[in-house]
Structure 1
Amino acid sequence: MRLPPLNALRVFEAAARLGSFTLAGNELLVSHGAVSQQIRNLEDCLGTSLFLRQGNRIELTAAGIAIYENIRKGLKSFEEIFQILKQADSLRGEVTVSAPPGLVGHRLVHHLGEFHRRFADVRLRLIPSNEDREVHSRDVDICIRYGNGAWPGRNVEHLTDIFLFPVCSPDLLRNGARLETPADLRQFPILCADDGYEWDIWLGSLGVTDDLSDQRHYLGNALNTTEACCHGFGVALCGNISSSHYLQRGLLIRPFAHAVRTANSLFLITRADIVHKAAASATADWLRALFTPPATDPG
């Protein structure tokens, strides 16, 4: 099948979109006469008129209208192909990642030095959020979300389950203070990252009926409760991901071995076209590696 010349198609698209041979020539940096010649060549190739010419005015014929949208989409696809080829071997540029604020503060920022050593020419833009608006945004390459995995129209991968357990500063248990049974929690402030629901789940899983409601402090999010714990204020309920850095450094300890799994999990969410953006694809692989065992071991 003999296809029309690509250059003639580009000229036709510009003239049809702008409604003028002169304006099309200005955009393409060619003369009015060159535009007219390319249009004539395309009409000869197709065997039909594409424009009605009325003095300085032009108007698409029925045939021109019929092919314009397909030609516009085809040229757009060519542009995307060349952009993909340009980026395919290039680990450089900006990658936008959206993740819950606690995850950004507790985990991602602790590994940015490692990221830079591996991908020196990639710049990260971190958006602390657990909202769905970034999941559906064309401006966000990768999302990590806490939920049930239902994000239609996106690639969704399970990263890790979340396990909750109490943590506190070692300083809290100096001077003879004991924290060996749930009843011992009565001695300390109880720090809540949410409305207290997670503490209810943990206590209920042990059959504890005392909800410690008169000792609860509501600090707004997991980052606040963890930081308060590190400074010796009370006992917080933390997840295995958010607390791992603090436990490894000895800033926090686990007074109880018992942990409960949350109903929701962490998921990695990407657009289908991320495979065409080398820097974003490599960043997604790096993020997956951050959540592989033993880092996600609840014990």
Structure 2
Amino acid sequence: MNTDTSKPLAFRRYPSTTALQCFETAARHLSFTNAAQEMHMTQSAVSKQVAQLEEMLNLSLFHRTPQRISLTPAGKTYYLEVLGILKHIEIATTNLMSHSTNTEVLTIVAHPTFCSRWLLPALNGFGQQFPLINLHINEQVGPFFSEDQNVDIAFLYGDGIWSGMQSVKLFDEYCIAVCSPEYLQDKTLDTHTLQGCVLLQLSSRLSAWYDYFKQQDISIDGTFVGPRFDTFQACIIAAMLGYGIALVPLRLVAQELQSGALVMAWDYAAKSRGSYYLTYPISLGQSHKVKAILEWVTTYLETSNQCQKILALVE
């Protein structure tokens, strides 16, 4: 008796891409006529493809009347699934067609604020130096790694220890309290009282203000109170608009400090518990694309004028 359960999969019937496209288009328009026009097919051909799909599934995907068609409950569920499948095929095909056979794709993940304010400026010119490496940059709050994700490089904040990953420390994080210049008007800021001040909170770091004052040996109430935001970017924008005082990494607001759009509310930079790291799967340590970005980022850190100015401010 053959107990190999994998063999029947080879004989399982799957719908054709044409049938799925006909179904998706008809479901989107709720019209075989409009679907046929979009697909440059005859109405009968589209209807036949959908009918064959329903026969194979042994399910009705549409309610049909002389005036119109509508999706059945099963059809609605299947439509959403098919839509995702066709989109995935489109992306995969486009990605493959957009790269020549001798190029590599380097998939990078980073937090949105870090990506826009540090990573993108840091990678400026990388494409010219390494034309055969195509960057695919994903902005993501987290988690950055899972079995179903294809990630080559991640820029992470933390302690540098992630399972199966090699970490290269980029720099420590120093956070400063910033606000708009107008926010300071008619206010006398005192680190021993928060009266009249609004502390903007980052949802993922609700103890940040407490740590900021504790490092200065200041005991103060109300450090957990204030509007909450999901990203540093939102905190920065809110501070610029006069919502209150934001506690943000110095590196991420260097440009606003230099332009005067933001000012330091208190002259203190608090060293955070974690640091920023460039991380990659250990298995990719010898790959050309990983070595290339390691070299590029290391050189950027060594030569960046902004880095030198920031370190001077902290010290």
Structure 2 length normalisation: TM-score? 0.56
User: Cα offset for 1:107?
Assistant: 1.6
Could you tell me how far apart the structure 2 residues matched to 1:248 and 1:289 are?
23
Could you tell me how far apart the structure 2 residues matched to 1:239 and 1:211 are?
23
Q: 2:175 aligns with which of 164, 188, 192?
A: 164
Check whether the contact 1:94–1:124 (CA below 8 A) recurs between aligned residues: yes
Are residue 267 (structure 1) and residue 286 (structure 2) matched?
no
Could you tell me how far apart the structure 1 residues matched to 2:246 and 2:238 are?
8
Check whether the contact 1:130–1:145 (CA below 8 A) recurs between aligned residues: no
Check whether the contact 1:107–1:245 (CA below 8 A) recurs between aligned residues: no
Relative to 1, partners in 2 of residues 1:138 and 1:177: Cα closer, same or farther, differing over 3 Å? closer
Q: 1:182 aligns with which of 182, 187, 191?
A: 191
User: Cα offset for 1:127?
Assistant: 1.9
Identity of aligned pairs, percent?
A: 20
Are residue 243 (structure 1) and residue 279 (structure 2) matched?
no
Check whether the contact 2:173–2:272 (CA below 8 A) recurs between aligned residues: yes
Are residue 191 (structure 1) and residue 200 (structure 2) matched?
yes
Relative to 1, partners in 2 of residues 1:136 and 1:290: Cα closer, same or farther, differing over 3 Å? farther
Q: Is the radius of gyration larger for structure 1 or structure 2? A: 1
Check whether the contact 2:153–2:290 (CA below 8 A) recurs between aligned residues: yes
Check whether the contact 1:164–1:261 (CA below 8 A) recurs between aligned residues: yes
Deviations 1:104-134 (A, max 9, x none): 1322234454444544554321222354552
Could you tell me how far apart the structure 2 residues matched to 1:219 and 1:138 are?
27
Relative to 1, partners in 2 of residues 1:229 and 1:291: Cα closer, same or farther, differing over 3 Å? farther
Could you tell me how far apart the structure 1 residues matched to 2:110 and 2:134 are?
16
Could you tell me how far apart the structure 1 residues matched to 2:301 and 2:109 are?
16
User: Cα offset for 1:96?
Assistant: 1.0
Check whether the contact 2:111–2:140 (CA below 8 A) recurs between aligned residues: yes
Alignment length, in residue pairs? 208
Match in the other structure for 2:298: 288
Q: Which runs of 5+ in 2 are unaligned?
A: 1-101
Q: 1:125 aligns with which of 129, 136, 142?
A: 136
Are residue 97 (structure 1) and residue 108 (structure 2) matched?
yes
Match in the other structure for 2:151: 140
Match in the other structure for 2:162: 151
User: Cα offset for 1:274?
Assistant: 4.0
Q: Which runs of 5+ in 1 are unaligned?
A: 1-89
Deviations 1:200-224 (A, max 9, x none): 1112222333233585111122111
CA RMSD in angstroms, aligned pairs only: 3.0
User: Cα offset for 1:237?
Assistant: 0.4
Check whether the contact 1:97–1:125 (CA below 8 A) recurs between aligned residues: yes
